[in-house]
Chain A
């Protein structure tokens, strides 16, 4: 069964750009790709969502190649408060389009 996979962790410094890639090579045809942010002792919080190409909002950008088998969340100019775990969420075709979270990427922003 294909899995939705992400790097376990990455470190960055304030003011830098952070790019997190999620691999979802069995994504359901009609499903979007959604990214969530989670702080300790809180529920995940929506960041951005897209279907293809590029989406940008006030906090992030999402890049999706034409084959949609991966996606990259880009956080521009991170600050200490961006330290969190970031999850991608897709519907997995092989699992009957079941919503599947990636394992999460722990981002540590250093001063």
Chain B
């Protein structure tokens, strides 16, 4: 298996633009997680899905952030409009079973820079 795949690996955009991050989880995994990592706040869970259904989005910082999982092999995290404070590394992870009690497999991340 290729592991969790994220695209793009790097994204540079200007404030106000829409940004879409993409994730392909490991086949057979029923949980998918989106995390954000910054120096100031560390690793934060934004939202997670179980069987394509959003379960907990309490970590999504604002209405500017939205996430979808239209099928078991694809998820997107969208920021619209983007702001400089959204600059961070965004990780997608997947697991077989609930993420707190099972190993999560992380993708390589997308480094987002908002100018």
Q: Which residues of A contact B4 (CB under 8 A)?
A: 43
User: Size of chain B's interface in residues, with CB distance under 8 A?
Assistant: 22
User: Size of chain A's interface in residues, with CB distance under 8 A?
Assistant: 26
Partner of A98, one of B59, B106, B108: B59
Decide yes or no whether B26 CB sits under 8 A from chain A. no
Q: Which residues of B contact A98 (CB under 8 A)?
A: 45, 56, 58-59
Nearest chain B CB to A62's CB is how many angstroms away? Answer: 13
Partner of A44, one of B48, B99, B100, B106: B106
Q: Which residues of A contact B106 (CB under 8 A)?
A: 43-45
* Listed A/B pairs (5) with beta-carbon separation below 8 Å: A43-B91, A44-B104, A49-B101, A98-B58, A99-B99
In the assembled complex, the Cα of A106 lies from the Cα of B93 at a distance in Å of 22
Nearest chain A CB to B75's CB is how many angstroms away? Answer: 15
Residues facing B in A1-45 (CB within 8 A) are 28, 30-32, 34, 36, 41-45
Q: Which residues of A contact B44 (CB under 8 A)?
A: 101
